[in-house]
Amino acid sequence: MTGRRFEQLLRCLHCESVPNNDRLTKISELLELVNSSFQTAYKPGKNLWIDESMMLRRGRLSFRQFIKSKKNKYGIKFYEFCTHDGYALNLDIYKGKVTHEVSSLSVVDSVIMRLMESYLSEGLSLFMDNYYNSVGLANRLLSFKTHTTGTLRTNRKMNPKPKIIDVQNKYGIAKKKPIEIANYNVNMHRQMYDQMILYYSSPKKSIRWYKKVIFHLLHISIWNHVKNRLFRFCT
């Protein structure tokens, strides 16, 4: 296929909006389908983690985010629920403040519970950073037989006093760290698939944000397929 033919077909790609108040209405059904396929195709191990990534988007968009610490500082934020080796099990997209949603949970806790909905009460272990982690969330997940490990912000309520152990850093130098931090560093593999798909990324400039999301979901699907094939080969 020639490049010109590809561009012609790409211009015909369009997503219809379903009349509702969901800002992701153009891709919500696709995202649900992709997540369902991810979970059906792969049986995760015990250790899982949650983090987020940014898909570059500088155009005007009501739910565009700015995160200074990210490589792509402007864009669409993806919440990611993954296995310890980087297979994406469930994805969600930040869609800004939604005033009509009423919940007893905080925004962060709601994201965690929604992403883990299909994996609660299975005795799994969840690793997360200090943006998500809190004692209250840990207790809630423990009631669903889900154990948690992660860093905590010093201003969070009910922070426990952790046990200190001796560990070695990558240079072989002995350090003292809380046992939870040592376990967290071993199991928290950040954005492994983000790093891998970046090597072969094919981002397309488009004024339609959902087209970039579709290609991003396609890249993640390819990465998951590769991980799944490798897992079956090794077993």
* Model confidence, pTM: 0.75
- Mean pLDDT, rounded, of the chain: 82
**Has residue 12 got a pLDDT over 80?**
yes
| Residue tagged 């979901």 (tokens) | 217
Q: 210: number of CA atoms within 13 Å, CB side?
A: 15
Give per-residue pLDDT as tens, 96-155: 776 555 567 788 899 999 999 999 989 999 998 888 888 889 999 999 999 998 888 877
Q: What are phi and psi of 66, to 5 degrees?
A: -125, 115
Residue 116 confidence (pLDDT): 92
**What SS3 state is found at 115?**
helix
Query: CB-based burial of residue 112 (10 Å sphere; 0-12 exposed, 13-18 middle, 19+ buried)?
Result: buried
**Least confident residue range of 47-56, 111-120, 124-133, 163-172:** 163-172
How far apart are the C-alpha atoms of 82 and 147, rounded to whole Å? 15
